[in-house]
Amino acid sequence: MHLTTRVAGGAAALALSLGALASPAMADGHDGSNAPEACSKEQKQLDKAEDALERLTAVFEAKKEKVKKAKKEKKNADKGAEKRAAKADLAKAKDKRSDAKENQKAQQKRVEKASERLEKCEAAQEDAPTEPAED
């Protein structure tokens, strides 16, 4: 049974190595003449970063509302135990709001970087010489 496992493993390794050798040859066939598609990766990254920023902004707004609610609860607390619990809840809410704000700022930086990469790519495409059409 070990012999068939070894033979199958060897066949799989051979198939993978031949597949790896064939894929660069196919990738070289693309000459980059499709200008609109050339920056599609950067555009996708920018879209993804903007979507994530929207989600993080919504999360931050929700955390701000929780802080407001916790402040009201602390203000309206009557007894000592209630006040302590409300104070602890407020501290947690502020911590989470702070974390959300940091995440939002980091995502804003990612959006800026992605837009810079897209602008650079588009500028490079505009500066690239176009091939004259053959008659």
Structure confidence by residue, pLDDT tens digits, 38-50? 789 999 999 999 9
> Residue 23: pLDDT band by 50, 70, 90 thresholds?
very low
| Whole-prediction pTM | 0.61
> What pLDDT is attached to residue 78?
87
How far apart (Å, rounded) are the C-alpha atoms in residues 90 and 83? 10
Nearest CA among 36, 37, 53, 39 for reference residue 112: 53
- pLDDT tens sequence across 62-104: 999 999 999 999 989 888 888 899 999 999 999 999 999 999 9
Q: 56: which 2 tokens?
A: 């993080």
